[in-house]
Amino acid sequence: MTDAHNNPDYAIGELMVSAIARQMGNHDHDWAAVGAYSQLPMASMKLARMIYAPNMWWLAGGGGAINSTSKLVQSTSDHRVMRGAEYMMNMEDIVDIEMWRYNRGREQVVGVVGGIQIDRQGSCNMVAVGDYENPKVRGVGTVGLAFGVSFTLVYFFTMHHNKQVFVDTVDFVSSVGHTKKRAEFVPPACIGPQKVFTPLGVFDFVADSPDTKTMRVVSLHPGVTLEEVQDKTGFDLIIPDNIAETDAPSELELTLIRDEIDPDGILKTLRISR
């Protein structure tokens, strides 16, 4: 068995980009947003548009570029992201579309986002670790995760998979997962977090009660064991009978990533840890 983290043929970031891009194949004709500190999803959107979802529209973070075809840069709001874009949104445009569900329902609005904590039910925290009034770690703020209750659905990505990120219950709910409160308050058209892409594997959410869901293993990246992923997760994952190995990136995907999307090799320098 090869090891995705020590594979001479591709970087772990390239494998994650491939996995997220393939997921976006479900969203041809939909609308997707990535936030700040988002080199991985930004590359994924570009790859998805090339192969899997040519009709998908996507927003590169706070800079406002729509359908950018620039090479990958570190900051989603760098002006070089404007290259090849079709429109530049201001913040009113961004809020309008991220609350779009309230206007019409013809397409899905998808967020690809991260968090400093993600929990068993898929709630996500960007505000504070520990007690809110006396935080151990003060986070950056809720920012666009507010749209977790207006996006049709959310995919999470993380650069680290450990017990600090994956906790049983988040200390502050910036974006709500599959909790009882979601069932009570959030309109059903907003179906919430669907998958989680981490340096160890891909996960989804399945019902553990009539009102709530828990994270389940879908596939593990090459070289990752079930013991390792459970050991590095702060709650009991749901383990299905069959666990796939995440597909390695194809030759075509790697060629496009390296020659067209990320010629500067930013994906290979990201500090992704298992």
Give me the residues that bind another protein (CB under 8 A), please. Answer: 36-37, 39, 61-65, 74-80, 82-83, 88, 90-92, 94-95, 98-99, 102, 126-127, 132, 134-150, 172-176, 179, 181-182, 184-187, 190
Nearby residues of 171 by Cβ (< 8 Å), 6 or more positions away: 117, 125, 128, 129, 130, 131, 132
Q: How far is CA 195 from the centre of its chain?
A: 8
C-alpha 200/C-alpha 229 separation (Å) is 7
Nearer to another protein, 138 or 163 (CB): 138
CB 38, min distance to another protein, A: 9
Nearer to another protein, 9 or 168 (CB): 168
Whether 234 and 2 have beta carbons less than 8 Å apart is answered as no
Q: Among positive and negative, which fits the CA dihedral 258, 252, 38, 30? A: positive
CB 135, min distance to another protein, A: 6
Whether 128 and 171 have beta carbons less than 8 Å apart is answered as yes
Q: How many residues does the chain have?
A: 274
Nearest to 170 by CA among 215, 201, 207: 215
Q: Find where tokens 């009034």 sit.
A: 133
Nearer to another protein, 64 or 249 (CB): 64
CB 151, min distance to another protein, A: 10
Nearer to another protein, 14 or 253 (CB): 14
Nearer to another protein, 102 or 255 (CB): 102
CB 18, min distance to another protein, A: 21
How buried is 16 (Cβ within 10 angstroms: 0-12 exposed, 13-18 middle, 19+ buried)?
Answer: buried
Q: What are phi and psi of 183, to 5 degrees?
A: -60, -35
Whether 193 and 177 have beta carbons less than 8 Å apart is answered as yes
Nearer to another protein, 29 or 180 (CB): 180
Nearer to another protein, 237 or 268 (CB): 268
CB 268, min distance to another protein, A: 15
CB 240, min distance to another protein, A: 28
CB 156, min distance to another protein, A: 16
Nearby residues of 272 by Cβ (< 8 Å), 6 or more positions away: 12, 13, 16, 159, 160, 199
